[in-house]
Chain A
Amino acid sequence: MTNSKALLIDVANCVGCRECARACAEVNNLPQEEATELSATHYTVVQSLNDDQTFVRRLCMHCNEPTCVSACLVGAFTKTETGAVLYDEAKCIGCRYCMQACPFEVPRYEWSSLSPKVQKCKMCYERVAAGGKTACTEACMFGATTFGDRDEMIKEARKRIDESPTTYVNHIYGLTEAGGTSVLYISNIPFEKLGLPMNIPNEPIPQLSWRVLSQIPKYSVAASVVLFGIHWITARRTEVARFEAEQKKLVERN
């Protein structure tokens, strides 16, 4: 995607001040309360590791080829030109397949509502479309969250790793994970310890089901031909058998 934006999260720079989460709650009219897990009212959270010195921010990864977009039967999710993956509550029927399908377990549900919606980070779509930055980026004073074109963010990530190769792990999480995401992580701690899912394939996940789904037209035609064929043969066989029996009877009668 040419114009796609991305967020670069630098775990090494994060001090855990949670200004990003506060700014996020403010622009999205969510309650100001600290949380450690994403929820319908927390689009981003800052998780602290056991050492209390390392902090990892979690939010929707805004995949390049999102699993939720492909999974939703009514097409309630879209990958927008800014890179943000957006949810349209007017379409949603509430099957929660997106929650089941998301490899990063991001979509959250308004369980207590009688007309529940799925909630997640919107990558400040309106602000970004108007040329601005996400609220969390503006709130971050330590360079733990940077925002810009995805290509630029990848370059920036590479630069930071190359400048201090002893500090950083030589990996950009989100560069290839799930076929690439619009949220990139670099870290001074091995990624396994950050709690980010490590078993994400490097290809876009939607193709796992598309491989099977795309066979359906072929299967349907082939199966119909075979089924009609079987019927034609067996029906013909029965008819011939009956004809012969009848003929025999008539011959005997005469």
Chain B
Amino acid sequence: MTDTPLLKVGGLSKFYGSRIGCKDVSFELWPGEVLAIVGESGSGKTTLLNCLSTRLMPTTGSVEYRMRDGNFRDLYHLSEAERRFLMRTDWGFVHQNPADGLRMTVSAGANVGERLMAVGDRHYGNIRSTASDWLSRVEIGTDRIDDQPRAFSGGMRQRLQIARNLVTGPRLVFMDEPTGGLDVSVQARLLDLVRGLVNDLGLAAIVVTHDLAVARLLSHRMMVMKDGYVIEHGLTDRVLDDPREPYTQLLVSSILQV
């Protein structure tokens, strides 16, 4: 067990005018840990994710990240160049809609290669072979390397987006409903893939989902949000098997059994 967290979040709040987006969220995230944020639509989970990943400026609070040199930096005091570098290299962001995270009109290989070029890789042969390696890791045939994601199915696009994010060896990946909109067999394949990659690479991840089964499968720890507040927080199987809060009990008892 390493003793230093990767991310320290303290008293984070975001207001939209007088409306609460998320309120007073504090937690720490360690390397190799997957945290699920669950709750219904409008509970503030995406607002929280966007604040954590600096896509949105919080009203108050701090988010500190341990940089590769071991020093903690407050994310909202980074320069724009530093922040962009972090987002391109040390972080990944997997959007629910792959079209938001991919360039739909350039080839699959270039989608993966672009992130490598952002970290300074310039050798075409190396970039192409790394891209090809990553496509096969996410189970996309390497004969599709020159095809545009426009020609891919939804499941393939999502896998491509994951490859694009992981190619630079990030330490932290944000995922917003990564399996939303995929049919169940495609979902199972993607979950299995993400699970394997997270384990193999020792990634830390923050996954927003409304699907408790996805949370159980992927995450170690879980935060339940309601009306912008974190109402319950704990070990994933503890929260799901012995929910304490009325709302969590309602959520868990609303799962459809197959």
Genuine A/B complex = no
